[in-house]
Structure 1
Amino acid sequence: MSYNKFIFLFLIFTFQLISQGNVGSFSRIGNDARTVSMGNSGVSLIHFPNSGYHNPATIAFMQNTQANATYTFLSLDRNFQTINFAQKIEPRGAFSLGLIASGISNIDLRDGNGTQLGTMSTFEHQYILSFANRMTDNFSAGITVKMNYAKLYDKLTSIVPGFDFGFIYLINPNFSIGASIKEIGSKYKWDTSNLYGQDYGSSTINNFPQITRFGTSYFYEPYNLLLLGEAYEINKNIYYRFGSEFNFNDNFSFRTGIDKYSTATNNPASPTFGFTFNYPFQEYKFALSYAYVLESFGLFNAHWLTLNTTWK
């Protein structure tokens, strides 16, 4: 078997993995330990920079500048990291920047005789820019412009933009509802002409599934308890997410949640847990968050760590 044919078969296999509803799955597993540990139900969550990932409209209610970085511990040589920054724009706006980086490393390349040809890696990146504005004291709308950049092989890459839209309404300071439409126009466009020439190359388009999300959050002040619930539609299936956060004091909080719950499919839900330690230092507030996720079908566990910094 020739080297090019081996690569061809590898790419066919990879296309099958990312085809249909699985395309861009890295962009849907979460963005930070805090929201992941609450079942990823962040479409109505305010005062947090990564909430722009779930719903761009939520960042308009931020009070301070925030930045964070997330690292995950995953199985099967997978890697996943995020970074985010968010800041207010006076008088009623805000913007956020983010990067989601995912990939698989140390893929063993061999020819048809089993001879090792080296190793390779693949990656999927999503660059995120969000804007939001409060139309009234209680209502905001936002938009996210994202660039989906992926590489399967040295000469096989895809760069295509996508968009998110969202809104959020505060019924009162402790009760909010939000909705968003995600991955509008997001896709991968592959052209193998650079690998196999014009005579043998082909063009393939893999569309990201569009996601519609609606959720609510309520902070019950007497018990320092935050409750979240969300429904979302993807590939004509409805799923539910639930989460809670209990603040023991200003320095420690515990969270739990359920992600991907559905009565219409046989896919199991994912239970989530996590906690945060807060440490104020002068005008800064540091927060270290951890999340534990039992991945679908219970085969592997995922561990998330996020370091968040807040300042005026």
Structure 2
Amino acid sequence: MKRFLILLVSVFMMLQGNRLLAESNGGYAGAFMRLGLGARHLALGNSSVAAPVDAFSFYYNPALSAFHEKRMFTLSHRFMSLDRRFDFIGFASKIPPGAGFSLGWIHSGVGDIQGYNMIGEQTGTIDHNLNAIYFNFARVFAGKFAVGLTIKHMREDLNFGADSYNASGWGWDFGAAYRFNQKLTVAASLRDVGSKLTANTEKLFEFGGTTVFTFPKIWSVGATYLTPLPWLRVNYAFVGTEHENGQHLGLEATYRNILALRFGYNKDQLTFGAGMGFKLWKFFTTLDYAFVPSVVDEGASHVFSWQFYLN
């Protein structure tokens, strides 16, 4: 009974936490993987299915990695309310003469949740962790058309004292992009194909078994356009799932490679951010910031990303 109550309360908190984490489809499995990734792309309203490539591009469209011109190492941290965590570390590189790849690790979770039994006694703390590891490869053909694939492994862990619950699974992302020229690119992606978490509760319950949590598939189409004003770029994406869909728009104004101001429309939210580029030791780096407003009064998020261009 104690194990059942702790697990029931914990799963409820997990679902509530995922609802707060996710900007859409929050009541379904894998919400932490639908937040968006990278301060630049979040500031642009998650409109980056065709955006110029960086170390976060594989998340929005696996095909974009084919356009890598440099090696990049990146870190990202999202300051969130309610003691939640969301971090990313990644590496991306070109593979001459016409390919590229990306590696990445997302970690999300919340810890030190106080647990109680049915008579109000403290039973210790509960920790909830979610992890996803990505591998992405993309190839360009004729210098214009690119296709890409991302394989990802996900794992969820819920620890409460001597007991624990865990689930794991795999998923696939596919993408395509066509670069007409340096100003215009159109693209499409299909994410979370077959993505699911499979849990076995036989060690927790006498009549435990196997449960499968399936992620909603996400499809995106969009474009990026460098306007006649050479300092202004516009992104557009239409993103949908079997449960809902919405439009995403991003505007990015840049001054050389030094400063950038960004504004976005993320379905029904307005986002904004900024970035700056500078040289650190022998590397050129970019430091980006994004403000993401509250979804359901849980508090706004502040996202920082730092990219290092290695050559």
TM-score by length of 2: 0.92
The Cα RMSD (Å) is: 1.8
Q: Distance in 2 between matches of 1:221 and 1:83?
A: 35
**Percent identity for Structure 1 against Structure 2:** 29
One-letter amino acid matched to 1:97: L
Pair 1:143–1:42, CA change in 2 (3 A)? same
> Is it true that 1:189 corresponds to 2:166 in the alignment?
no
The question of whether the paired residues in 1 share the 8 Å contact of 2:168 and 2:199 is answered with no
Q: Distance in 1 between matches of 2:235 and 2:297?
A: 24
Q: Deviations over 1:141-184 (max 9, x none)?
A: 00000001111235321121100000000111110011100001
> Is it true that 1:98 corresponds to 2:104 in the alignment?
yes
The question of whether the paired residues in 2 share the 8 Å contact of 1:46 and 1:62 is answered with no
Aligned length: 301
Task: Return the offset for 1:283.
Answer: 4.1
Task: Return the offset for 1:298.
Answer: 4.7
Partner of 1:33: 39
The question of whether the paired residues in 2 share the 8 Å contact of 1:155 and 1:194 is answered with no
Partner of 1:264: none
Partner of 1:286: 285
The question of whether the paired residues in 2 share the 8 Å contact of 1:258 and 1:272 is answered with yes
Task: Return the offset for 1:76.
Answer: 1.1
Q: Distance in 1 between matches of 2:135 and 2:194?
A: 15
2:265 to 258, 264, 273: 258
The question of whether the paired residues in 2 share the 8 Å contact of 1:46 and 1:59 is answered with no
Q: Distance in 2 between matches of 1:155 and 1:9?
A: 13
**Is there any run of 5+ residues in structure 2 with no aligned partner, and where?**
20-24
Q: Distance in 2 between matches of 1:12 and 1:60?
A: 40
Task: Return the offset for 1:15.
Answer: 7.1
TM-score by length of 1: 0.91
Task: Return the offset for 1:235.
Answer: 2.2
Q: Distance in 1 between matches of 2:91 and 2:310?
A: 12
2:213 to 192, 206, 211: 206
Q: Distance in 2 between matches of 1:176 and 1:241?
A: 16
Residues 1-312 of structure 1 mapped to structure 2, 5 A cutoff:
2-11=1-10, 13-14=12-13, 17=16, 21-153=27-159, 154-197=163-206, 200-220=207-227, 222-259=229-266, 261=267, 269-281=268-280, 283-312=282-311
Q: Distance in 2 between matches of 1:42 and 1:284?
A: 25
Q: Distance in 1 between matches of 2:115 and 2:149?
A: 41
Q: Deviations over 1:203-235 (max 9, x none)?
A: 221100000100100112534111000001112
Q: Distance in 2 between matches of 1:123 and 1:70?
A: 17
One-letter amino acid matched to 2:289: Y
Please say which of residues 144-153 and 20-29 is displaced more in the overlay: 20-29
Q: Distance in 2 between matches of 1:90 and 1:16?
A: 44
Task: Return the offset for 1:299.
Answer: 4.1
- SS for the counterpart of 2:180 is strand
Q: Deviations over 1:240-283 (max 9, x none)?
A: 11101100332111001011x2xxxxxxx121110001102464
Pair 1:64–1:221, CA change in 2 (3 A)? farther
Q: Distance in 1 between matches of 2:196 and 2:263?
A: 33
Q: Distance in 2 between matches of 1:192 and 1:282?
A: 51
Q: Distance in 1 between matches of 2:230 and 2:141?
A: 31
One-letter amino acid matched to 2:91: F
The question of whether the paired residues in 2 share the 8 Å contact of 1:85 and 1:97 is answered with yes
